[in-house]
Structure 1
């Protein structure tokens, strides 16, 4: 893995994503759910909401880097609030 120049934050990021995928896979097997319709007026499952959350969080972080001169921890807080909103209302 030396060719990828892994840093501790990068490894943690990918470990968290892999863990989320594993947890959501286990949840889907143990507790199947039927899709629900939220404020976007499309049917979504847990996996769909996770994808929407990850995609939106990427854009939040990019916007934070481009527009705000505060530490990136602030973007993490915004992303957590965004994730809570997506899983609640989408």
Structure 2
């Protein structure tokens, strides 16, 4: 049987997602969200934009890994910038 090797970057990744979900839960309880329409072609809530952002960030990382020889930190920077833009104006 093979066990997954947990590395520090993997642990940080999952801890960051857990903190994002906890923060979004508290934010929703304190200030309930309303659907709004930004540059995305659909009306979304904060949770919708977070889900879309996490999903597209995964594709950004896969694209960087498959198409370039750049460091993965570049993909992380692009993903963080994308998440900020999406959460604010998406």
Same fold (TM over 0.5): yes
Q: What whole-Å deviation, never above 9, does each CA across 1:3-26 have from its counterpart, x for those lacking one?
A: 332111111110001110000000
Q: Point out 4+ residue stretches in structure 1 off by more than 3 angstroms.
A: none
TM-score (ref. length: structure 2): 0.90
- Give 1:85 deviation, angstroms: 1.8
**Alpha-carbon distance in 2 for matches of 1:46, 1:28:** 9
State the partner residue of 1:52.
Answer: 52
- Give 1:47 deviation, angstroms: 0.6
State the partner residue of 2:83.
Answer: 83
**Alpha-carbon distance in 2 for matches of 1:39, 1:13:** 27
State the partner residue of 1:25.
Answer: 25
Matched, 1:73 2:84: no
State the partner residue of 1:6.
Answer: 6
**Which protein has the bigger strand share?**
1
**Alpha-carbon distance in 1 for matches of 2:24, 2:88:** 16
TM-score (ref. length: structure 1): 0.90
State the partner residue of 1:36.
Answer: 36
Aligned length in residues? 89
Superposed CA RMSD in Å reads 1.4
Structure 2 gaps of 5+ residues are none
**Alpha-carbon distance in 2 for matches of 1:41, 1:7:** 38
